[in-house]
Amino acid sequence: MTQSQTRFTVEGLVIKEMDVGESDRLVTLFTREAGIIKAFAAGAKNIKSKKAAATNLLTYSSFTILNKKGTYRIYEATPKASFFTVGSNIEMLALEQYFCELALVFGENENPNEELLRLILNSLHFLTKEKRYPPMIKAITELRTAAVCGYMPNLVACQGCGKFEDSIMFFSMENGALYCGECRHAADSLPVSKTVLSALRHIVFSEFKNLYSFNIPESDADYLSGITEKYITVQTDYDFQALKFFNSIKE
């Protein structure tokens, strides 16, 4: 190995893949150690190669990477877990793509964010194991991503008078703040019932180990998912393509 070439090992999730030429692939990895990394995988389209399996979208793998003057090449790769389920419905796949997009948008190049990675991996796990109602997983992922990536809403109490609870409270998308019925003024605020408010608070404030362990009726989860989606979109002013696609195919 020459001096201009170094080698390092990371673990990460393939959040984007692109074919290059006849047999190569350019993958975007969300790694535990180094955040977002783009790397070439030579020969990765050869389906017999271990590298092919390890560089598939939605696969969590261990990678040995060569850094040659700032260009990363995957030297070796071993798959550890795949969140791509054969025969899974298109709605689930679209949601998985959206979680990858969240990782792409909020992850930072060569800067680790273990909390976000853990969140994305757990959401993919719960989604593919069909353990929770998908809109619930979507809401958890959106709002917790926002909270850990600099867009933490203030859900403690009414911003105007400090009231903790009301039969209906209002959540302002623009301010990321809560208002009671009397203090409500912003036109962009959405009404939230006690059930939905407790879910919003749980997603933002709970310890990670308890994050997925709560339940609300499906109709409330659908409403909650609409709110968290609007919140992350308004706050970041980002046009999430995978979210658009997901919404376009939803029944």
Report how far residue 47's alpha carbon sits from residue 165's, in angstroms, rounded to the nearest whole number: 57
Q: Minimal distance in Å, beta carbon 158 to Zn ion?
A: 3
**Which residue, 162 or 217, has its beta carbon nearer to Zn ion?**
162
The binder of Zn ion chosen from 18, 81, 161, 249 (CB under 5 A): 161
226 sits near Zn ion (criterion: CB under 5 A): no
Is the separation of the CB atoms in 157 and 217 below 8 Å? Answer: no
Report how far residue 95's alpha carbon sits from residue 245's, in angstroms, rounded to the nearest whole number: 9
**Which residue, 68 or 163, has its beta carbon nearer to Zn ion?**
163
In the three-class reduction of DSSP (H, G, I as helix; E, B as strand; rest coil), residue 179 is classed as: strand
Q: Minimal distance in Å, beta carbon 171 to Zn ion?
A: 13
Within residues 5-64, the interface with Zn ion by CB under 5 A covers: none
Q: Please state the length of the chain.
A: 251
Is the separation of the CB atoms in 123 and 84 below 8 Å? Answer: no
Report how far residue 48's alpha carbon sits from residue 154's, in angstroms, rounded to the nearest whole number: 51
Within residues 167-196, the interface with Zn ion by CB under 5 A covers: 180, 183
User: Site mask, Zn ion, residues 116-155, x = CB under 5 A?
Assistant: ----------------------------------------
Number of residues that bind Zn ion (CB under 5 A): 6
Report how far residue 11's alpha carbon sits from residue 30's, in angstroms, rounded to the nearest whole number: 8
Is the separation of the CB atoms in 55 and 44 below 8 Å? Answer: yes
**Which residue, 20 or 186, has its beta carbon nearer to Zn ion?**
186
**Which residue, 112 or 160, has its beta carbon nearer to Zn ion?**
160
Is the separation of the CB atoms in 11 and 31 below 8 Å? Answer: yes
In the three-class reduction of DSSP (H, G, I as helix; E, B as strand; rest coil), residue 150 is classed as: coil
158 sits near Zn ion (criterion: CB under 5 A): yes
Max CA separation in the chain (angstroms): 70
Q: Minimal distance in Å, beta carbon 166 to Zn ion?
A: 8
**Which residue, 73 or 163, has its beta carbon nearer to Zn ion?**
163
**Which residue, 19 or 165, has its beta carbon nearer to Zn ion?**
165
Partners of 169 in the β-ladder? 192
Is the separation of the CB atoms in 152 and 204 below 8 Å? Answer: yes
The binder of Zn ion chosen from 160, 190, 204, 214 (CB under 5 A): 160
The tokens describing 121, both together, are 């991996």
156 sits near Zn ion (criterion: CB under 5 A): no
Q: Minimal distance in Å, beta carbon 170 to Zn ion?
A: 9
**Which residue, 45 or 163, has its beta carbon nearer to Zn ion?**
163
Q: Using CB under 5 A, list all residues that contact Zn ion.
A: 158, 160-161, 163, 180, 183
